[in-house]
Amino acid sequence: MVCDVCLWFNFRASAAAQTMWTADEIARLCYEHYGLRLPKQGKPEPNREWTLLAAMVKIQPAADQACNSPDKPAQVTKEVVSMGTGTKCIGQSKMRKSGDILNDSHAEIIARRSFQRYLLHQLHLAAALKEDSIFVPGTRRGLWKLRPDLLFVFFSSHTPCGDASIIPMLEFEDQPCCPVSRNWANNPSVKASGNLEAPEDKRKCEDPDSSVTKKMRLEPGTPDGVAHHQSFGNQESSPDPPSVSRCNLTTEELATVTGMAPSGAKVVDVYRTGAKCVPGEAGDSGKPGAAYHQVGLLRVKPGRGDRTSSMSCSDKLARWNVLGCQGALLMHFLEEPIYLSAVVIGKCPYSQEAMQRALTGRCHNISALPKGFAVQEVKIQQSGLLFEQSRCAVQVKRADGPGRLVPCGAAISWSAVPEQPLDVTANGFPQGTTKKGIQSLQARSRISKVELFRSFQKLLSSISEDKWPDSLRVRKLETYQEYKEAASAYQEAWSALRKQAFGSWIRNPPDYHQFK
């Protein structure tokens, strides 16, 4: 029987774990892990490439804290349990029905899928009754729950793409990109195509690979490695670009962004996101300056001429904040979803209000969720530490070096698992995979849908059928889609979220989930 002092300790330790760390400590831990634990393979080519970094950090009370010392100051240990790098995602034409390709290789998504691999390993430990698992038995047969003294913090070196990256730019700041001319929307070629988001000049301005985009400089007195944005417009294609500060915007158009500015500061523009509004949403105005974007919308990640089906990282993080990070499959074994306690962002253009709007504000009024599910009040903080292989940092180091600065084409996955923790991919497959080798088992990322499904099936086969959770005993399940649909509580929560907030969410057709 657990003593009252121990119960008080667990409560106190859990509360302490939420406060006994700083954003800089989380960022430093992740940067050190990236430098020491990840190999050179898959990392950016020095002075030519950049990448993004994301990770999941486990926070728990220090092991040496005794249960009989409730007055002793609480200490916590911090451990990176998954990590991801990457900037790419594949277009719709490259998607595969076999589940063996990574559709989305942005760092945040790689880190989360790596975290699911870690959770599967921890469930294996729990099922084998190993004491070092993060899970303890739940109240219902076959179900587990997270130890009460543990929590998870999500780290990203940059604000998530999509809504969280639509950040107001004030009059005294450098412009984020070349201004959009007043008469751009009246251009006959734009009107004829009906495309308000793809004029050539604007694409050059937003393209992170463009030579006119996002040159960086160090301000006097700026700490080493911390850069401020300075952008240069394409003067050749726009001979007389107007100053954004002269744009005449209505009160309504500015209302969404001026609310994020310090009192009295003038918002003249916004940092732009390359993520496009999904079909069915209102869409961006494309107007000059601060009214260019409409905030709060669902967005899809851009592709190189081939539209993607991958929702923005802002949208996915908002979804995880309601449904948990474990996904539908693992919910079969869990009594409660695995939620993030905090999100920490590295040094980059940042708005606390934009982050809160994107990650929690859009789902604030969701109701009628099944038991165990709830909209989380996740803690959001920014670190003052810059990722050394971010675009900002690399641009400063290379100064005016030859060639273009380009995003790294590879993605790295790392999980805190004993066997083959690393996975390096490019274009959705393990790096080095040839066209001939795509059908082989070696041409599968360990965090692809089909491989995570195989790990799930392996976990299930290690447990005697009389100890299976009820959700897996109702009927015989075979395909990936059938197993996902059988997680009834998760699907009910997802349905409520779509109906009440994310009705335009792009979902892949069921035939992409029919593999076994």
- The Cβ-side half-sphere exposure at 419, using a 13 Å CA radius, reads 6
- How far apart (Å, rounded) are the C-alpha atoms in residues 321 and 26? 20
- How far apart (Å, rounded) are the C-alpha atoms in residues 156 and 57? 11
Intra-chain end-to-end CA distance of the chain, in Å? 44
**Token duo for residue 465:** 């059928």
Q: How many CB atoms lie within 10 A of CB 74?
A: 18
Secondary structure element (H or E) that encloses residue 500, with its range: helix 488-500
Bridge-based pairing state of the strands 53-61 and 216-217: unpaired
**Token duo for residue 391:** 């675009």
- Given the structure tokens 């006119």, which residue do they identify? 212
- Given the structure tokens 């035939």, which residue do they identify? 511
- How far apart (Å, rounded) are the C-alpha atoms in residues 51 and 62? 33
Q: How many CB atoms lie within 10 A of CB 461?
A: 9
- How far apart (Å, rounded) are the C-alpha atoms in residues 359 and 12? 28
Question: Which 3-state string (H, E, C) describes 418-456?
Answer: CCCCEEEEECCEECCCCCCCCCCHHHCCCCCHHHHHHHH
Has 108 been annotated as catalytic? yes
Catalytic residue among 108, 253, 335, 451: 108
156 Cβ contact list (under 8 Å, min separation 6): 52, 53, 54, 107, 108, 111, 313, 343, 344, 345, 346
**Token duo for residue 138:** 């739940």
Q: How many residues does the chain have?
A: 516
Q: What is the DSSP string of 91-141?
A: -GGG--TTS-S-SEEEHHHHHHHHHHHHHHHHHHHHHTT-TT-SEEE-SST
Residues with catalytic roles = 108
